[in-house]
Amino acid sequence: MDAATTKRINDLLTTVYNDILRVEERELKKSRFKDISIKEVHAIDAITMYEHKTTSQVARELKITPGTLTTMINHLVRKGYVVRLRSDDDRRFVRLGLTRRGRLIFRAHESFHRHMIQSFTQDMDDEQVQLIEKALLNLQAFLEFPETLN
């Protein structure tokens, strides 16, 4: 691959990343969920409404420290998006769950991403979508373990 192609792909990736965050933030501010940041929405997405995860599980998924997540969870609890669910067997064991309001924002965020992917892959055949998926998996592997690619 030549330098010009490398630069174009780099510029596209950077622009797309920034645009996704900008559009998510803009749509959030236009919605009834004005009291929440996009980072908090991503925490809600990681908590998910389909299972109850521990703080450590969510922190690992978001690639942030448990302390950073705890601060964010405290805000989300105060805002009415998240609940802490204590185990009946061991009160020290806490899982995270979403309130009704948390489930609403979870579904809205999920819908945004579903529409974004549909738009991204429209008019592509299965082989083209598989190539995109492979390229994104390669990029993800680099971002997770950049030292192994040197």
Q: What angle do CA 81, 103, 41 make, to 5 degrees?
A: 60
For residue 24, being part of any structural domain is answered with no
Q: How far apart are CA 74 and CA 69, in angstroms?
A: 8
Q: How far apart are CA 20 and CA 98, in angstroms?
A: 24
What are 73's two structure tokens?
Answer: 């969870």
pLDDT of 120 higher than 80: yes
For residue 3, being part of any structural domain is answered with no
Contact 81, 40 (CB under 8 A): yes
Q: How far is CA 150 from the centre of its chain?
A: 28
Q: How far apart are CA 147 and CA 44, in angstroms?
A: 30
> What's the number of domains the chain is made of?
1
For residue 56, being part of any structural domain is answered with yes
Q: So what's the pLDDT on residue 139?
A: 92
Q: So what's the pLDDT on residue 150?
A: 55
Length of the chain: 150
pTM: 0.84
Domain housing 103? 36-149
Residues 61-114 have pLDDT tens digits of: 999 999 999 999 999 999 999 999 987 777 677 899 999 999 999 999 999 999
Which residues, including other chains, have CB under 8 Å from residue 55's CB and lie 6 or more apart? 66, 69, 70, 73, 94, 96
For residue 15, being part of any structural domain is answered with no
For residue 81, being part of any structural domain is answered with yes
**What band does 145 get if pLDDT is binned at 50, 70 and 90?**
confident
Residues 64-87 as b/e (b if ≥16 CB within 10 A, e otherwise) read beeeebeebbeebeeeebbbeeee
Contact 44, 106 (CB under 8 A): yes
The domain that holds 64 is classified in CATH as 1.10.10.10
Residues 12-37 have pLDDT tens digits of: 999 999 999 999 999 888 888 889 99
Closest listed residue to residue 105, CA positions, set 36, 15, 56 = 36
pLDDT of 133 higher than 80: yes
pLDDT of 148 higher than 60: no
Please give the average per-residue pLDDT across 38-60, as a whole number.
Answer: 93
